[in-house]
Amino acid sequence: MIRPHTLYKLLHEAFGNQHWWPMDKSYHRRHHTDPRFEVVVGAILTQNTAWPNVEKALDNLKQSRVLDVENLATMDREELCLLIKPSGFFNQKAERLGKLSAYLSTTYQGDLDVFFARDLHEIRAELLFLSGIGPETADSILLYAGNLPIFVVDAYTKRLCARLPLPIPLTYDEIQQYFEKNLQTHYPAHQLSSIYNELHALIVTLAKQHCRKKPVCEPCPLKMHCAFGP
């Protein structure tokens, strides 16, 4: 039976580095803003939508030069809705972005160094306390913006676990703990955030290229290890 560290090796051999999370560093250099905030915003905008729609919304925010904590915390809600409209569910997402930005502004003066320089579980609990931020969004922010070692579980991961199958119940926390426990025994602590980063991205690539709703198993790099495959 395949284990997470083997899964990582096979997927990495097949697809290589995925270079997540995309952020426009040159924009942030030019405007003296924090690129990690783009990841925070992207993690909320990507809820229930495809990434190209998120990119359009992020482009609108950049063109209006408001992709920073203070601007999103204070800007007119209707204006924000218009800018993020391409990402769908824009009323809901504008409210979430406004509240999170206001929280970061008032509690941490918008300083993400201060926000992320604490115990991972303390930050996670704080994020989960905010409305509209569930485990997947919170963990994406922690891993991809904060570079903190926590494995992100999404619908693709759950589907893959069910198909291989991996010997775990399919709750978010149990899948996360199973992956982390296995990977922690194979990699040193200082490498874990980059391993979690790559593995989640690799699973997304696998799900898009092969392990779709209707799977394309023949060219899949996991077919020799998968009970669901050919």
User: Do the beta carbons of residue 49 and residue 87 sit within 8 Å?
Assistant: yes
Nearest by Cα to 20 from 180, 113, 147, 207: 147
Shortest CB 83 distance to ligand SF4, Å: 37
With binding defined as CB under 6 A, does residue 229 bind ligand SF4?
A: yes
Footprint on residues 102-131 left by ligand SF4 (CB under 6 A): none
Footprint on residues 169-228 left by ligand SF4 (CB under 6 A): 210-211, 215, 217, 220, 222-223, 226, 228
Shortest CB 223 distance to ligand SF4, Å: 4
CB closer to ligand SF4, 22 vs 229: 229
Range 5-41 burial, b when 16+ CB lie within 10 A, else e? bebbebbbebeeebebbebbeebbeeeebbbbbbbbb
**Residue with nearest beta carbon to ligand SF4:** 229
Shortest CB 220 distance to ligand SF4, Å: 3
Angle at 15 between CA 194 and CA 37, to 5 degrees: 40
Bond preceding residue 21 cis, omega within 30 of 0? yes
Question: In which residue are the tokens 């915390």 written?
Answer: 73
CB closer to ligand SF4, 52 vs 230: 230
The size of the interface with ligand SF4 (CB under 6 A), counted in residues, is: 12
Footprint on residues 5-34 left by ligand SF4 (CB under 6 A): none
User: Do the beta carbons of residue 163 and residue 217 sit within 8 Å?
Assistant: no
CB closer to ligand SF4, 18 vs 193: 18
Shortest CB 13 distance to ligand SF4, Å: 14
Burial class (CB in 10 A: 0-12, 13-18, 19+), 167: exposed
Shortest CB 6 distance to ligand SF4, Å: 13
Footprint on residues 140-169 left by ligand SF4 (CB under 6 A): 160, 163
Burial class (CB in 10 A: 0-12, 13-18, 19+), 106: exposed
Which residues contact ligand SF4 (rule: CB under 6 A)?
A: 160, 163, 210-211, 215, 217, 220, 222-223, 226, 228-229
